[in-house]
Amino acid sequence: MQESKQKIKQKVTDNSAAIGVFDSGVGGLSITKCIAAQLPHENIIYIADSLHAPYGEKSVDFIIQRVNTITKLLIAKGVKAIVIACNTATVNAIEQLRAQVNIPIIGVEPAIKPAAKQSISKKIAILATQATSGNQRFKDLIDLHHNGAQVLIQPCPGLVEFIEQGKQHSPACNALLRQYIEPLVNQGIDTLVLGCTHYPFVQHQISVIAGPQVSIIETAAPVTLQLRKKLAEMDLTASSSQQGQTQFFSSLVTKQQEQIFSQLWQEPLLLCALEHK
């Protein structure tokens, strides 16, 4: 009881410390790529909780427990800030995490505001996991930002599993995408929000199914901008002019996993085992 009220860690002041980024699995690589490209002097430690993916079909208590465990591991590695590169973990666990941790925590939430703003048909849709779709913080976000647009929520069970297994180009994955997207297009949406960080890895397939009249919005760029602002505000921006390094850890390390990571990262990488799972 007492322990949960204590801060996990006091503020980090070393600007050469790494940025911690995590997700249930490979999805957060879509955010990490953008961070590495936009903030090239920063070191990054990426943790994939692949042993416990997908989070989208787990209970809130389970998600909170995993988020807290991974945060402790990142803090033990000395990170100066944490990016929760996962919509599901953000909407379900960010508030309780911020209450315990003194370093900046940046979350990822579906980009409803820009989507509603740019929609001409005033009909937009959000693809998300089940645990995001049913979450109150997510519903409040829609109420706050719909700007008069009708917002269709499409949970996508099964989709994360295809991407985790490196089967995002399979006919079965394409059939699942069709099942989720075609009814939205038939209802007249002109904007589609990717509300899960795994989904940018099937963005091409999504845009082929949705057609050229539907624009697709994801969140890597605004999250990176928010991270940049937070680091600057707290005087934590890396001052080195050297290229930053990205290290990859997972709760499930196999040769096949390493290949899937390398394929999505678009260069060979070394996947290291987490000390505690």
Q: Is the peptide bond before 222 cis (omega within 30 degrees of 0)?
A: no
Handedness of CA 84, 116, 132, 177 (dihedral sign): negative
Nearer Cβ to ligand DGL (12/24): 24
Report the nearest approach of ligand DGL to the CB of residue 240 (Å): 30
Q: Report residue 217 as tokens.
A: 């919005």
Please identify every residue annotated as catalytic.
86, 196
Cα distance between residue 115 and residue 192, in whole Å: 7
Closest of 20, 30, 92, 39 to residue 218, by C-alpha: 30
Nearer Cβ to ligand DGL (42/218): 218
Nearer Cβ to ligand DGL (196/264): 196
For the chain, how far is it from start to end, CA to CA, in angstroms? 23
Positions touching ligand DGL (CB under 6 A) are 23-24, 27, 53-56, 86-88, 129, 132, 160, 196-198
Number of neighbours of residue 137 by Cβ within 10 angstroms: 15
Nearer Cβ to ligand DGL (87/190): 87
Report the nearest approach of ligand DGL to the CB of residue 226 (Å): 16
Closest of 98, 116, 128 to residue 197, by C-alpha: 128
The label of the residue with tokens 């007492």 reads 2
Cα distance between residue 100 and residue 66, in whole Å: 14
Report the nearest approach of ligand DGL to the CB of residue 56 (Å): 3
